[in-house]
Structure formats: C-alpha cells, structure tokens
C-alpha cells in the first residue's frame, strides 16, 4: 500500500502544565528534571500520534535553561517532527512560560529529541515519511541530517569519516 506523506506541521502537538509546589526547587522555580520530563512526554505523544506504534527516546540533544520558570506559571510545550529518517524521527520542542503575575510570556528553551518506533517484538520499525511545507520547516528538515550524524558520532554509532554531512567539521 502506498504511504501517505503528511506535512511536518500536521504532526504538531501542544500541551500545557501549571507549575505546582511539587514541581519546584528550593528557590520556588521549576525543577529542571520536571521540565525535561514534560519535554520527553510531549515528544513521545508527538511521535506516537504519527506512528501509532510504541516509541522510545533514543537521544536528547543539549538542553539549555535560559530563564527560571516560577511557581504558578503556565508552561506550554509545542512539539513537531522535523524529519523522519528510517525507524527514527527527530522532534523539535519549543517551551514557553506564561508568568502568572505579570502575564508575560517567556521563551524558556528549545531542544531536539530523537525517537524510535518499535514493533510488538521491540524491534525498530519503519516510520512514514513527512515533508516540510514552509521555509522554516525546510531549514529544520535540511539541518536534521547534520544533527543526526553528529549525535550518532557522539553515541559511538557512526565513524566521523562516514559523516558526509559534516565533512567541513571533521576533515
Ligand atoms: C533506541 C533503540 C531502540 C535503538 O536500537 P538499536 O538496536 O540500536 O537499533 P538500530 O541500531 O537499528 O537503530 C535504530 C534507529 O535508532 C537510531 N539511533 C540509535 N541510537 C541512536 C542515538 N543515540 N541517537 C539517535 N538515533 C539513534 C538509529 O540511527 C536508527 O535510526 P534509523 O532507522 O532511522 O536509521 C535502543 O537503543 C533502545 O531500546 N534504547 C533504549 C530506549 C529507551 O528505553 N528509552 C528510554 C530511556 S529511559
């Protein structure tokens, strides 16, 4: 059966959480590990909705926390798939926080997660491809090959000499 390709933005999901006392550290700001949990969850929902299979986190690129998020703030996570490789897919997540007092919205952080779809026997399974619709998504789509090779090298799963997308860095 011919696979039906869908646009990157059609894979987008959004979820919001309110920062409760249990989610905070001793400064009454959001505990970083809790935010990473929410990011992983948003990425998992996004990947699962696209594949309808079990999905697991294979890797997470670096996460930088730009500004503290306070107790009572509303955290919103937007996630979409930037590119499907074969059995794995890259997911981009954007996190914003709405301040409960000042009603200001801050950009907290962004990150790339890689998820792998598994079959009933826990073996990686092919994921339906997607295509970028707009200029920004095309930029993310194109850059995904470079980011994939870099993370596979860092994970010891690819030799630098085989990273054709990164030749300018390694050679
Ligand atoms: C992720 C996992 C399924 C990969 O299995 P594997 O036996 O290494 O399978 P493969 O080598 O065939 O790789 C499968 C895909 O994962 C990708 N992959 C594997 N390790 C990766 C990594 N560190 N970063 C990015 N992608 C990775 C491969 O590139 C491949 O993608 P592709 O098919 O699109 O080319 C396996 O390592 C696993 O189950 N890890 C634990 C996942 C988990 O429990 N996550 C929650 C953490 S608590």
Beta strands 6-7 and 130-131: pairing type? Answer: parallel
Q: What is the pLDDT of residues 104-119, one digit of tens each?
A: 889 999 999 999 999 9
Establish whether residue 88 lines the binding site of ligand 1, counting it when its CB lies within 6 angstroms of any ligand atom.
Answer: yes
CA pair distance 110, 79, nearest whole angstrom: 10
The values of phi and psi at residue 73, to 5°, are: -70, 155
Centre of ligand 1 from the C-alpha of residue 116, in Å: 6
Domain ranges of the chain: 6-132
Centre of ligand 1 from the C-alpha of residue 115, in Å: 8
* CATH 1.10.40.50 given to domain 6-132: no
CA pair distance 82, 141, nearest whole angstrom: 5
Which ligand 1 atom is the nearest neighbour of the CA of 86? 34
Which ligand 1 atom is the nearest neighbour of the CA of 57? 45
Predicted local distance difference test score (pLDDT) of residue 41: 98
Residue in 65, 67, 62 with CA at minimum distance from that of residue 147:
62
The pLDDT of residue 36 is above 90: yes
Q: What is the pLDDT of residues 120-158, one digit of tens each?
A: 999 999 999 999 999 999 999 999 999 999 999 999 999
Centre of ligand 1 from the C-alpha of residue 70, in Å: 35
Which of 50 and 62 is assigned the larger pLDDT? 50
Establish whether residue 157 lines the binding site of ligand 1, counting it when its CB lies within 6 angstroms of any ligand atom.
Answer: yes
């Amino acid at each position: 059966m011919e696979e039906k390709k869908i646009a990157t933005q059609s894979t987008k999901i959004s979820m919001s959480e309110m920062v409760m006392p249990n989610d905070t550290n001793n400064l009454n700001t959001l505990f970083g590990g809790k935010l990473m949990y929410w990011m992983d969850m948003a990425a998992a929902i996004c990947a699962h909705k696209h594949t309808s299979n079990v999905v697991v986190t294979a890797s997470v690129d670096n996460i930088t926390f730009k500004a503290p998020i306070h107790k009572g703030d509303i955290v919103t996570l937007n996630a979409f798939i930037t590119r499907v490789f074969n059995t794995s897919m890259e997911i981009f997540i954007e996190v914003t926080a709405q301040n409960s007092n000042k009603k200001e919205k801050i950009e907290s952080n962004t990150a790339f997660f890689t998820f792998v779809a598994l079959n009933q026997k826990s073996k990686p399974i092919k994921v339906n491809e997607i295509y970028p619709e707009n200029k920004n998504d095309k930029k993310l789509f194109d850059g995904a090959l470079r980011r994939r090779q870099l993370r596979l090298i860092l994970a010891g799963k690819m030799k630098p000499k085989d990273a054709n997308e990164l030749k300018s860095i390694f050679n």
